[in-house]
Chains A and B, each alone.
Chain A
Amino acid sequence: MGYQTSKLSQLSSREIYWKLFTITLTLSACTFGGGFVIISMMQQKFVEKLRWLEEEEMLDMTAIAQSSPGALGVNIAIVVGYRIKRIAGAVVCTLGAIIPPLVIISLISIFYNEFKDNTYIAIALQVMRAGVAAVICSVVIDLAKNIFKTKSILWIGLMFAAFVATCFFNVSAIVIIIVCGLIGLINVQFEDRKEKKS
């Protein structure tokens, strides 16, 4: 923790804002395939490369982004910005997240017919999915490893149960968040009581 905060504090505010802006801008511009892809990329960038955030924080922030209305990719940028540089950081990250779609869609809506019928664009958009899938799979491997490291049957079981629920039964994210949050709450009360008894 000490190392990570010192690394962030070595930078001037201006450098941090610029970095936040350029990172959210590039990630937002390159992210095909939805909010979780953005989250995976932010995880790679902010947790693994820059070490500005811890992995657990990133998961907590994902939960916050999921619990709010609106697009996941924008919400996660808002939380990350706020965590690093409060309201100003949130504004900077939000701008970074919305400028690319704003520019790209504005251009496409002007040149829609040419865009729609271009074979090269169609092929490129299709094959890029393979790269996106690899990025997000790699992040899943890292995240799942850490859940296994808890060696707790409860958390590992919960992970598999939540996976089956989302994947095969289309249970909505909000339901899963509420249920798992309650399980966590009950579990912590239970442990508290055990500690008091002993």
Chain B
Amino acid sequence: MIYLRLFTAFLQIGLFSFGGGYAAVPLIQNLIVEKNQWLEMSQFADLITIAEMTPGPIAVNSATFVGQQLAGLPGAIVSTLGCILPSFIIVLILSYFYMKYRSLKTMQGILTGLRPAIVAMIASAALSLLLLALFNSSLGDIHLSDFRVIECGLFVISLFLIRKFKVGPIPIIFGSGIIGTILYLITGLPIAK
């Protein structure tokens, strides 16, 4: 029963992929490529590329991709549901306790300690994204020669529009996508990779 096997495999991925993003990749690889041999390694590499290029979390994207390849749309849906079921239950339990006990002094203390940490983690994600946009590389691997003028201009203008005129995220992202693509086509500058 392929649906059941897909469901249980992605249930495990959903349950044990702590830390999100690339932290889930080794586990997915182990279950999809090595254990169940649903994909070859080259297909798996393609899958990671697609997941990187499209919105959505890697675990959910791979659930959809593998399910679709093996059992069509129903397979994709079953795998995706399996993948999110564990987090759905655990997040609900934690939210329940949060809403019930958040006014307790002890809980307040813990949450006050967590807030600076969460801000720091968001800042760290922002920095790596910015470096990826401006230099197409990550921290510790920056070469000034890789500096991308168009992206830098888009970034500065976008930030200005958000801060000054409170433009929403979606017009900003699509606006920079469209204007940036036109600028690359006009200037003929080489794209990354």
Contact = CB atoms under 8 A, between A and B. Distances in A.
A20 to B, nearest CB: 15
Contact of B86 (A69, A115, A126): A69
Given A109-B64, A160-B120, A184-B110, A100 B76 contact: no
A158 B20 CA distance: 23
B73 A106 contact: yes
Interface in A169-187: 172-174, 176-177, 179-185, 187
Contacts of B50: 105, 108-109, 112, 115
Give the interface size bracket for A toward B: 35 or more
Interface string A19-33: 000000011111111
Contact of A101 (B57, B91, B99): B57
Contact of B56 (A68, A104, A136, A143): A104
Give the interface SS of chain A, mostly helix, strand, loop or mixed. Answer: helix
A129 B151 contact: yes
B177 A131 contact: yes
A53 interface: no
A127 B177 contact: yes
Contacts of A116: 46, 49
A1 interface: no
Give the interface size bracket for B toward A: 35 or more
Interface in B47-63: 49-51, 53-61
B123 A180 contact: no
B21 to A, nearest CB: 5
B139 A192 contact: no
B33 interface: no
Contacts of B117: 63, 158-159, 162, 176-177, 179-180
Contact of B94 (A31, A67, A119, A162): A67
Q: Which of A74, A159, A183 has the most CB of B within 10 A?
A: A74
Given A34-B20, A127-B151, A134-B162, A159 B68 contact: no
Contacts of A173: 19-20, 121
Given A131-B158, A167-B139, A180 B113 contact: yes
A29 B59 CA distance: 16
B61 A101 contact: yes
Interface of A: 26-37, 39-41, 44-45, 48-49, 56, 59-75, 78-79, 82-83, 87, 90, 94, 98, 100-102, 104-106, 108-110, 112, 115-116, 119-141, 143-144, 147, 155-156, 158-163, 165-168, 172-174, 176-177, 179-185, 187-189, 191-192
7 contacts: A31-B56, A62-B118, A102-B60, A108-B54, A127-B181, A134-B159, A135-B169
Given A82-B99, A106-B73, A124-B180, 8 more contacts: A69-B18, A74-B57, A78-B87, A102-B76, A105-B54, A124-B177, A134-B162, A163-B120
Interface of B: 14-21, 23-24, 46, 49-51, 53-61, 64-65, 68-69, 73, 76-77, 80, 83-84, 86-88, 90-92, 94-96, 98-99, 102, 105-106, 108-130, 132-134, 136, 139, 150-152, 154-155, 158-159, 162-163, 166, 168-170, 172-181, 183-185, 191-192
